[in-house]
Amino acid sequence: MSVTARPTPAQLAEALGVELDPDILVLALTHRSFAHEAGGIPTNERLEFLGDSVLGLVATEALYRRFPDLPEGELAKMRSAVVSQRALAEVARTLDLGSYILLGKGETRTGGADKDSILSDTVEAIIGAVYLSHGLEVARTFVHSLVDPLLKTAAGLGAGLDWKTSLQEAAAERSLGVPQYESSAEGPDHARVFTSRVRLSGEVRGTGTGTAKKHAEQQAAEEAYRWINRQDA
């Protein structure tokens, strides 16, 4: 019975198109669940923190230059869409990044290799690793290779750039009051699922779930926004 070999960090580096020291790439792939089971070795969280800032800078600069006539508020919405957990997770899936992430047994059992939160965090950690290894110019080129398709489509997302803001604006226009969110969480820390509901004029008009509260709220806001549109039809 043949066993499929686990893909190696070297194969990932080749797919990424950037040279990285194997040690820093392995660090970028090390989720806290694996680090804990391995006796407390370093995790990718510091690299993720760094990569998040680099990603934000590069995306902001690109949007600023590409859309010179847009106000700050619209640029902020577009940036949020480009660097969102959902968007980065899709980038990770195109790279089959889940096959390379080092996860603990619990996370592996609960499908951690395909969780939006873990995938997006690992993308940011890899960006941090590229920045540390090569500096800002190479990191900028690398980030563009990952998110340029998102930058191109962001302008056409409309209300979907930020469902919560769009819902608030739509509710105000129709005198429905300020949207009120209620959220709860279930499951252990490593597999927590949030459920959010949004009320308009006291009535629940949208429900959403996600691995982070903010994502559950965005999904609930989208549902409520579409409910408003159906009332106008």
Q: Per-residue b/e over 54-86, b at no fewer than 16 CB within 10 Å?
A: bbeebbbebbeeeeeeeeeebbbbbbbbbbbbe
Predicted local distance difference test score (pLDDT) of residue 179: 94
- Looking at domain 163-231, its CATH class is alpha beta
> In the chain, where does the domain assigned CATH 3.30.160.20 lie?
163-231
State mean pLDDT over 78-96: 88
What one-letter code names the amino acid at 142?
F
| pLDDT given for residue 155 in this prediction | 64
At 90-129, the pLDDT tens digits run 899 999 999 999 999 989 998 989 988 899 999 999 999 9
CA-to-CA distance for 95 and 109, rounded, in angstroms?
21
Q: Where in the chain is the domain with CATH 1.10.1520.10?
A: 9-157
Q: Give 94's Cβ-side CA count (13 Å radius).
A: 11
First to last CA, the chain: 59
Average pLDDT value for residue range 43-59: 96
CA dihedral 170, 172, 174, 179 (to 10 degrees): 80
Query: Is-contact 9 25, C-beta < 8 A?
Result: yes
Confidence of residue 43 (pLDDT cuts 50, 70, 90): very high
Q: Which tops the pLDDT comparison, 204 or 77? A: 204
Q: What is the mean pLDDT of the chain?
A: 88
Task: List Cβ neighbours of 51 (8 Å cut-off, separation of 6 or more).
Answer: 123, 124, 125, 126, 127, 128, 129, 131
Give the mean model confidence (pLDDT) for residues 25-52: 95
Amino acid at 64: Y
Which residues are marked as active site? 52, 124
DSSP, res 115? -
Which pLDDT belongs to residue 170? 86
- Could you report the per-residue pLDDT of 145-157, keeping only the tens digit for each? 999 888 877 766 5
Angle between helix 213-232 and 163-173 (nearest 10)? 40
Q: How confident is the model at residue 190 (pLDDT cuts 50, 70, 90)?
A: low
Collapsing DSSP to helix, strand or coil, 68 comes out as coil
SS3 state at 196 = strand
Rounded distance between C-alpha atoms, residue 32 and residue 19, angstroms: 24
Mean pLDDT across the stretch 38-59? 95
Considering only CA atoms, which of 3, 35, 8 is closest in space to residue 100?
8
Give the annotated binding-site residues: 48, 121, 124
CATH fit for domain 9-157, picks 1.10.1520.10, 2.40.160.20, 3.30.420.40, 2.60.40.10: 1.10.1520.10
The model's confidence at residue 76, banded by pLDDT at 50, 70 and 90, is confident
Binding site members for Mg(2+): 48, 121, 124
pTM (predicted TM-score) = 0.73
